[in-house]
Homo-oligomer: A and B are copies of this chain.
């Protein structure tokens, strides 16, 4: 089975659950139900990997260190791009290499998604112009400010958990799990999404 490449951006001070939640959902999705199917990659429809600016381990919030699978230059083609948030996004808002990579990758990918303040980076990269989008409740005003400063006309949704307006954005941290299930359902149907949630003992709100 040809697998769909899911590339998750990671960086220093990425919020841990922002990316670990979707990583879990996407990497544990199986087209064959049950526990046994999770012991191998045979019926896994997605190939999930992390991408970072360099090959060096990054430090997530709380101090967990993660070894990225690929640096920007070495990443395989990405069909689903996932941009998590975290306090580290504030530095990246002014970092050209990362914004350029997001923009270039988004231009050749099928789906772009974000969790939490990851949407600030999408906004800054010009990918939310004229679109409805959301972010962590603590960053809604900042998303609006970025929109105003770039004259991007982003319609900031203040109470949605997942917003799909071509680009898929989600609310804070744990909302990324729901965003991931939303995408799995969109790609493979409700039965596959629900079975994966059952495997994870996760109650979708």
Contacts and interface: CB of A to CB of B under 8 A. Distances in A.
A28 interface: yes
Interface string A160-178: 0100000000011111010
Interface string A1-27: 000000000000001110011011011
A69 B62 contact: no
Interface in A141-182: 161, 171-175, 177
A39 interface: yes
A144 B138 CA distance: 45
A181 to B, nearest CB: 11
Interface string A42-69: 0000001110000001000111111101
A61 B202 contact: no
Interface in A71-114: 87
Interface of A: 15-17, 20-21, 23-24, 26-28, 34-35, 38-39, 48-50, 57, 61-67, 69, 87, 136-138, 161, 171-175, 177, 199-203, 205
